[in-house]
Amino acid sequence: MASYFPLYRNTGSIQTSNSGSLIDFIFLTSSFSASFNTTVLPDPFIFYSSSANTSNALSATSSSLFSFSLPTRAEKYYYTADAIIGVRTTATTTGVRIGLQKDNVGDGAAIIKVASTLTAYTLANIGTATGTTFALPASMAAINTKYPAIVKGVYTNSTTASTFNNQILLQPETNNSVTADSRSIFYTEYAGYYLTGSYVSSSYSPLRLANGTMQIITGSDTLTGSIFPSTSSLWLSQSLAAQVSTTNTASYSNVFVITDLTNGAPYLVNFYLIGRSAATTTGVQVRAVSGSNFNGSIYVPTSATAVGTQNSAGGTDITNLATAFPAATADRLIWGEYTFIANSTSHSIQLKSEVNASAVSINTGSVIFYRLIN
């Protein structure tokens, strides 16, 4: 079978693209009108995963965990970004501070959530007029126990005249050692751009072969995802075809079971469940099981303005024991985001009722997304 590799021009030299090359639409000229179907691109996410622990014992000094940097560009562009960081402390009186530093204060908005217990977060909101902000928990529930910290945001280069650089930071609340664990992850997705003024021509141009001649792609040329190199790690998904219900408090019912996992490999999971309870006094209890080194959270709404949060601790299964629901016989969103290490070929999201003989259910239309992190 023949192999096909797209080419690109780099400062006058024609080079072959491969699975490590990122074809960046930003480099196309302002008159470019080719059609891109981004939904069929092999993998729109860029992942960073920490391979070693990062520790800090100085409350006046920050350690950099992840840095998201891009060069100066003439366009205004947007990225969504998420981080799931495992944090722990050597003293319960020392909170683990997680921060976001923006070199340009207008570069987007984000929220930081640091789990100080199994059921509580300390929050920090970051606006487009904020430079560096930390979530500031004053204590942690247990020493040397990993809890999740989550950073979610939408970022943009507020100025097209300087480098875009955002960093996620680690700092202790007092001078005791805190650690961000290895296998913490940061992942970004390119979300689009628009021109803000005169375009400065780039030296990078995608090429095509036309009548035996190599030409730069311009005008009405149409590209599809099929020409791009495949990646070794893609998102997989399931949607719930039939409602799952239970009235049992003693055992769980499977909502999703994902199989064919690679034993010992790390995975990222996001799920969105449409939950319902027969009574506001009956919590819809959801857990994620089978695996090790869990790092993340499950959120179940308990009122119109609050959620029951369950955070992973020390890598055990995540079990949310919410004790209320916002409305009877009305759908509400339950969601989770976490990483884990597969220790078998399957992993499950499960459901049980908080009150015996009181019905809870997860309805059709619920979805789960998961992928190998490599």
What CATH number was assigned to the domain covering residues 236-372?
A: 2.60.120
Distance CA 361, CA 351 (A): 8
Q: Are 122 and 194 in contact (CB under 8 A)?
A: no
Which regions of the chain carry the CATH code 2.60.120?
236-372
Amino acid identity at 92: T
CB 371 within 8 Å of CB 236? yes
The tokens describing 330, both together, are: 């009305």
Residue 360 CB: number of other CB atoms within 10 A? 26
How far is residue 225's CA from residue 371's CA, in Å, rounded to a whole number? 19
pTM score, whole prediction: 0.77
Q: Which amino acid is at 361?
A: S
Alpha-helix residue ranges (DSSP H) falling in 204-258 = none
pLDDT for 294: 96
Q: Terminal CA-to-CA distance of the chain, rounded, Å?
A: 27
- Sign of the torsion angle spanned by Cα atoms 9, 34, 189, 102: positive
Residue-wise over 183-212: b if at least 16 C-beta within 10 A, else e?
A: bbbbbbebeebeeeeebeeeeebbbbeeee
Q: Which of 182, 342, 315 is nearest to 261 (CA)?
A: 342
Determine the distance from the C-alpha atom of residue 55 to the mean position of all C-alpha atoms in its chain, rounded to a whole number.
23
- Write phi, then psi, for 192 (nearest 5 degrees): 125, 170
What is the C-alpha separation between 111 and 128, in angstroms, rounded? 12
pLDDT value at residue 159: 87
CA triplet 339, 345, 348: central angle to 5 degrees? 55
Question: What does each of the 374 residues of the chain score in pLDDT, given as a tens digit?
Answer: 234 456 666 666 777 665 444 444 444 433 333 333 333 344 567 788 899 999 999 999 999 999 988 878 777 778 889 999 999 999 999 999 999 999 999 998 999 999 999 999 999 999 999 989 999 999 999 999 999 999 999 888 888 888 889 999 999 999 999 999 999 999 988 776 654 444 334 444 566 677 777 777 665 565 544 444 444 347 788 999 999 999 999 999 999 999 999 999 999 999 999 999 999 999 999 999 999 999 999 999 999 999 999 999 988 899 999 999 999 999 999 999 999 999 999 999 999 999 999 999 999 999 999 988 87
Rounded distance between C-alpha atoms, residue 117 and residue 310, angstroms: 9
**β-pair type (54-56, 244-246):** unpaired
Distance (Å, rounded) from C-alpha 34 to C-alpha 31? 9
Select from 267, 250, 252 the least CA-distant residue to 362.
Answer: 252
